[in-house]
Amino acid sequence: MNKVKILYVEDEINIRQNHAFYIQNNFLAVVYEANDGIEGLQAYKEYQPDIIISDLSMPNMCGLEMIESIRKTDKDVKIIVFSAHSDQEKLLRAIKLNLTDYKIKPLKRSTLYEVIINALESIDSKNSIYFSQTCYFDCSQRVLFENKTQVKLSKNETLLLEALLLQSNTLLSPLELFNAVWDYEKEYSLDSVRTLIKKLRKKLPPDTIENIYGGGYRVHTFS
């Protein structure tokens, strides 16, 4: 499973380090730290984080200026802002920059947890393919979920599902699926494909994988 990358920008070192430690211990995440907007902008360019958490008032370059610079080229990265009541004017400007969330300081850990969860769910929804309202495949992590609980897939089951999704709603022959999974590593076997299809079907909603007699297999997604 890939680790989410989070950039934490805050000039109050104790707060930043404590929150960064909390995030690392409560999420599957790599946390990068920056002391001000200049360091934050450099870290953003170097690490390309999935989520940015930033204060607004900082020396050298404030969080607002950093976010404005980032938004010139990146409209998608999730940005969470926290600010003091005195930063109201900056906060109103920042809200127009497509923020994922914003909170007023001081930031409680329960609030920090909540805003990160919301940002992660927003990222997952764009990188996931649904087979029902509760079952989906996270393409970036290559993981199948049912009710937000991971469904264990073997390596070959994952390859088979990805091959079907690559050409969703298109018929794929057993030979095409065999080559996608085993990559010519062994002699073609129709039974191998059928057995793997049967195993994968048990982990997906009913009728997700359709078999057309004499035609092949295709996967149906949920919209």
DSSP 83-126: E-GGGHHHHHHHHTTT-SEEEESS--HHHHHHHHHHHHHHHHHH
Cα 50 off chain centre by: 8
**pLDDT at 2 (0 to 100):** 56
**pLDDT at 91 (0 to 100):** 79
Which pLDDT tens digit goes with each residue over 140-154?
A: 778 999 988 999 999
On whether the CB atoms of residues 197 and 216 are closer than 8 A, the answer is no
Q: Which residues of the chain have pLDDT under 50?
A: 1
**pLDDT at 1 (0 to 100):** 42
Residues of the chain by 3-state class (helix, strand, coil), percent to 5: 45, 20, 35
- Our CA dihedral for 19, 111, 109, 67, rounded to 10 degrees, sits at 10
**pLDDT at 223 (0 to 100):** 64
**pLDDT at 125 (0 to 100):** 61
Which pLDDT tens digit goes with each residue over 49-94?
A: 999 999 999 999 999 999 999 999 998 899 999 988 777 777 788 8
What own/partner pairs with CB < 8 Å and gap ≥ 24 does 156-161 have? Answer: 156/181, 156/182, 156/196, 157/196, 157/199, 157/200, 157/203, 160/196, 160/197, 160/200, 161/137, 161/200, 161/219
Domains of the chain and any CATH numbers: 4-126 (3.40.50.2300), 129-219 (1.10.10.10)
